Amino acid sequence: MASVLPSWNFAAENDFDSNGLALVDEFSDAISACIEGGFEGAIEILSIHESKSKLTLPLPEIALICVRELCGRQFRTMGMRLLILFGVASLCSCPTIAQPDNQLTGNSQTQNLRSDNKKWAAKRASWPLQLEMRVPFEPTAFPSGPRFYVMYELHLTNFGTTPLSLSSIVVLDADAGVAQPIATFEAEQLEAMLQPLGGKTLSGPKERLVIADGQSAIAFMSVAFDRSSRIPDRLLHHVSTVDSAAEGAIIATHHTELHVLGSPVEGANWLTADGPSNDQDNHHRRGVVILDGRAVDSRRYAIDWKQIRDGASFSGDPRDVRSYYSYGKTVLAVADGRVVTARDGLPDNIPGHGESFHPAVPITLETVAGNTITLDLGGSQFAYYMHLQPGSLRVKAGDRVRRGQVVARIGASGDAREPHLHFEVTTSSKLLAGEGVPYLIERYRCKGASDGPMELRIHELPLDNSVVVFGEDHGK
């Protein structure tokens, strides 16, 4: 039978002071608890507590004192006394076990024992890193330009009693025979990827690396693969702290179906504002909220479609919605499907950013999306059109629509600082309650934020700050 090694707290600070009886009682309990598991267990317990309580008496002498005290205890049964007496007698008769080097005497012997005991205690004190790792919603790899991308959130919770300071996160192929890092994120990168929970004010970016005891943080992960690379079916995470490490959170990389959709708008010069990226200031990517008791991010792959000219979204009075190139532009059904929700009647806002933004109606869960259409795409995926122009909706709940059909116009209702179309695909017909999933747009031309040449993209999803051309203008 395996020995059970309980842990005792000792009152004695010196050898056998006024608290000596309590100490003896602790040692006798240790011996009685460990005899069934073997005398080595008793020796280990005694050795550990010798170090913890700063004892200098040799172990056999301690054992004899324990025996002497036990003989006078009224609450011990005779069987227990005999069992403990037998165990202590055996312990005292084996000095070569209890005292590793019987050629040493005095202080040198004590120091050697303590050194060995500390090493043993340190080894036994080692324990798996008390860091929970989980990914609430597994990702699906999607193509954009020369790469595939896998984006997800790694939730980290410190179940230990001391803060943890993260030093790296390594992503591995979970099914590889020999572990090969796919991506390594060092401390400097983690400073921009980690978001502590609870709204604590941080004095600097390095504080993001520290997860206090009992606290949680989210690591916003984005792993890129070259088109020529094989994307592993499953990923494994190796998280290192300054003094420990752990592996866990195995996830799949092809969790949902990639729907191929038509364009939600038409024409040229559409900016994919806050589109798919892992930027720290991307309010869609960092849009985790708690709904129905779960942490969800319906906006994970959302895009705010804004039409621009010469890099600007408006010309004229910035507080007039009609000054914005996007305002009033047509919104198209991205697929054949059924309209689940069609909400109209909320007014446009006067455009403004920061403190100059004053919504026309209070922003609540009911009004945040403004005038909205939700389209059932099938396969438990739903397309959302938000911030639509009041009075522009051409469909109602229950209608069937065809791909490319005009369903509304772009407005500035709800939580819209300026006219734009917020478009996203999620796993729920309930606003904000689903998980955002990637999708593919059938055909478009695109150039990135670096202002390179227009490139034809087929069955891809444009990334953040791309400039996209749809429809008849695709060749210009």
Provide CB contacts within 8 A for 86, sequence distance 6+.
35
Phi, psi of 114 (to 5 degrees): -65, -40
CB–CB of 251/152 below 8 Å? yes
Predicted confidence at residue 170, as pLDDT, reads: 97
Predicted confidence at residue 19, as pLDDT, reads: 41
User: How, if at all, do strands 181-186 and 164-173 pair?
Assistant: antiparallel
Q: Strands, DSSP E only, in 262-410?
A: 270-273, 289-291, 294-296, 303-307, 330-332, 337-343, 371-378, 381-388, 400-401, 406-409
What burial class does residue 59 get, using C-beta atoms within 10 Å of its C-beta: 0-12 exposed, 13-18 middle, 19+ buried? buried
pTM score, two decimals? 0.74
Neighbour count for residue 223 (Cβ, 10 Å): 21
Q: What domains can you pick out in the chain, each with its CATH number?
A: 20-125 (no CATH), 131-252 (2.60.40.10), 260-475 (2.70.70.10)
Predicted confidence at residue 73, as pLDDT, reads: 44
Predicted confidence at residue 179, as pLDDT, reads: 75
What burial class does residue 2 get, using C-beta atoms within 10 Å of its C-beta: 0-12 exposed, 13-18 middle, 19+ buried? exposed
**CA gap 300, 27 in Å, rounded:** 59
**CA gap 100, 85 in Å, rounded:** 23
Predicted confidence at residue 389, as pLDDT, reads: 98
Predicted confidence at residue 177, as pLDDT, reads: 81
> Amino acid identity, residue 351?
P
Predicted confidence pLDDT, tens digits, the chain (476 residues): 443 333 333 333 333 333 444 444 444 444 444 444 444 444 444 444 444 444 444 444 444 444 444 444 443 444 444 445 445 444 444 433 333 333 333 344 434 434 544 443 444 347 899 999 999 999 999 999 999 999 999 999 999 999 999 999 999 999 988 878 999 999 999 999 999 997 676 778 889 999 999 999 999 999 999 999 999 999 999 999 999 999 999 999 999 999 999 999 999 999 999 999 999 999 999 999 999 999 999 999 999 999 999 999 999 999 999 999 999 999 999 999 999 999 999 999 999 999 899 999 999 999 999 999 999 999 999 999 999 999 999 999 999 999 999 999 999 999 999 999 999 999 999 999 999 999 999 999 998 756 678 999 999 999 999 999 998 644 44
**CA gap 145, 252 in Å, rounded:** 22
Q: Strands, DSSP E only, in 242-389?
A: 245-252, 260-261, 270-273, 289-291, 294-296, 303-307, 330-332, 337-343, 371-378, 381-388
CB–CB of 269/469 below 8 Å? yes
**Phi-psi category of 356—alpha, beta or left, where left has phi over 0 and alpha has psi -120 to 50?**
alpha
Mapped onto helix, strand or coil, the DSSP state of residue 252 is strand
Predicted confidence at residue 178, as pLDDT, reads: 81
Provide CB contacts within 8 A for 448, sequence distance 6+.
145, 463, 465, 466, 467
Structure tokens at 437: 């999933």
Least Cα distance to 340 among 380, 370, 375, 377 occurs for 375
Q: What is the pLDDT of residues 324-337, one digit of tens each?
A: 999 999 999 999 99
Neighbour count for residue 193 (Cβ, 10 Å): 19
